[in-house]
Chain A
Amino acid sequence: DQQVKQNSPSLSVQEGRISILNCDYTNSMFDYFLWYKKYPAEGPTFLISISSIKDKNEDGRFTVFLNKSAKHLSLHIVPSQPGDSAVYFCAASASNDYKLSFGAGTTVTVRA
């Protein structure tokens, strides 16, 4: 069963605007959440993470928001740049085993 879901397979945004990527999870034991970014023919690279004790974490242009009651997190990219065009994976883990469960990914295309 898929415990982490990214319901939007793709997103197109204009350069300079905000990109918002969404992720939902079903396992209430998940307490650590990550976003990975993947370019074609490369492996995923870690982007940003958030612990369940927080509801927001910011790193430069990237901010992750966590809504535990809704079992929902989102990644905001502001402003979007052409180099942000990639596939973004949401992942989650529980502190009892730390195994990562990944969503199916969202392909972001930033238009000039």
Chain B
Amino acid sequence: EAQVTQNPRYLITVTGKKLTVTCSQNMNHEYMSWYRQDPGLGLRQIYYSMNVEVTDKGDVPEGYKVSRKEKRNFPLILESPSPNQTSLYFCASSSGPNTEAFFGQGTRLTVV
């Protein structure tokens, strides 16, 4: 089954404790992205990647890092999480720049 898998689905952490949210896709897609969803703001793009070792900033990259060492994986790293990063995070992948994106189930992160 074609899918985008995120882990964990739920995470509660404390301010400053580094964390990683994993994302993996099995569709051999070149494009992968991370979004955060906040009420009234829709989804905002954090980072995206066009291929292995190629990443770029989206609209809200501050406080986040990504890496793309393998085509299927695109982890999101928060080196020093802060409460304003409490949000619902989605990973997505697509086969090309203007094709539909397939989304993971989301990761609800709470930073206290």
Partners in one complex: no
Interface residues of B (CB under 8 A from A): none
Interface residues of A (CB under 8 A from B): none
